[in-house]
Amino acid sequence: EAGVAQSPRYKIIEKRQSVAFWCNPISGHATLYWYQQILGQGPKLLIQFQNNGVVDDSQLPKDRFSAERLKGVDSTLKIQPAKLEDSAVYLCASSLVGTSGREQFFGPGTRLTVL
């Protein structure tokens, strides 16, 4: 079974530029999550999708971050414009459903460096 795919693996941009990350979840997984992992910290949830609808985006900085999951499969996370403090690893995860106790499967992440 293929795992969660993410691209690119690494990205370096200058502040005020825009960037986009792509995630393809495990086939059949209805729930998709985007996490931000800053160096030295645990992952923090940015947004959760159930199929193509947003379940929770309370911690997404909506003035610069946006995400979509068209057709309820792939997802894209965008940052525009980027700030220095956005340097982090962006992890995508998926699960069969979004209920508590379900295992989330993580992709390898995209490491973003903002100069």
Q: Which residues bind other proteins (CB under 8 A)?
A: 4, 31, 33, 40-45, 48, 55-56, 58, 91, 93, 95, 97-109
* Whole-number Å distance between alpha carbons of 33 and 47: 6
Phi, psi of 14 (to 5 degrees): -95, 155
Residue of 50, 36, 15 lying closest to 90 (CA atoms): 36
Contact present, 48 and 54 (Cβ < 8 Å): yes
Least distance between other proteins and beta carbon 38 (Å): 10
Least distance between other proteins and beta carbon 102 (Å): 6
Least distance between other proteins and beta carbon 65 (Å): 17
Nearer to other proteins, 14 or 36 (CB): 36
Nearer to other proteins, 82 or 91 (CB): 91
Nearer to other proteins, 14 or 53 (CB): 53
Residues 6+ positions from 104 with CB-CB distance below 8 Å: 33, 93, 94, 95
Least distance between other proteins and beta carbon 100 (Å): 5
Nearer to other proteins, 17 or 26 (CB): 26
Beta-bridge mates of residue 5: 24
